[in-house]
Amino acid sequence: MIKPEEFYTMNEYPGPGEKKKLWKRVKNSIPDRKSFPLFYFDTRSFAFGFGSAVFVLFFCMGVYTLFAKLAVKDEPAYVKINNAYSKAVDEVEKSIPHLTTASYNKSYNLDEVLKAGKSKLNSIDAGISEIKAETGQGDYSPVRQSRLRELYKMKLEILSRMIDMEENGL
């Protein structure tokens, strides 16, 4: 710690009168502010604090919205319906792969009908993939979504007819 005695001698210190004058000049050089008796209101720090609070509020709202969209996958109802149709069609196709891939050893007429159904399924699949290719990520145009829903319905109907034909032997 610095000891003043090492740097100053006793006669270099200001006396009580000089100290009083010095502090009076310091007090007079500080401008008087009219403030409330309980606290001092500084507009600059209030503005910075308020601005920071608004920034933090908007930042938190943005983070919350981002996580909510990622967690819930905020999509319109018709997109969710189309996704459900797509999953249903995929599950039906997975459960009966012999309808769409195997050769048919039933009657000649059943074989022709199943081949026709398979060609219809292929054309519907081509239409679905074309619409999906045109539709970008987050593009929820109602016309495309309704067309996709119609294609999925047609595909499910054809698959159900093919299942019924195979079970009944035409």
- For the segment 153-158, the average pLDDT, to the nearest whole number, is 86
Residue 104 has a pLDDT of 43
Residue 137 has a pLDDT of 64
Condensed to tens digits (0 to 9), the pLDDT of residues 103-152 reads 444 455 667 777 777 888 888 888 888 888 877 666 667 778 788 888 88
36: pLDDT confidence band, cut at 50, 70 and 90? low
Answer yes or no: is pLDDT of 98 > 70.
no
Nearest to 158 by CA among 57, 19, 64, 150: 150
The helix (run of H) or strand (run of E) holding residue 42 is none
Distance CA 128, CA 153 (A): 11
**What rounded mean pLDDT belongs to the chain?**
77
Residue 95 has a pLDDT of 66
- pTM for this entry: 0.44
Residue 51 has a pLDDT of 94
Distance CA 82, CA 144 (A): 10
Residue 152 has a pLDDT of 85
35: pLDDT confidence band, cut at 50, 70 and 90? low
60: pLDDT confidence band, cut at 50, 70 and 90? very high
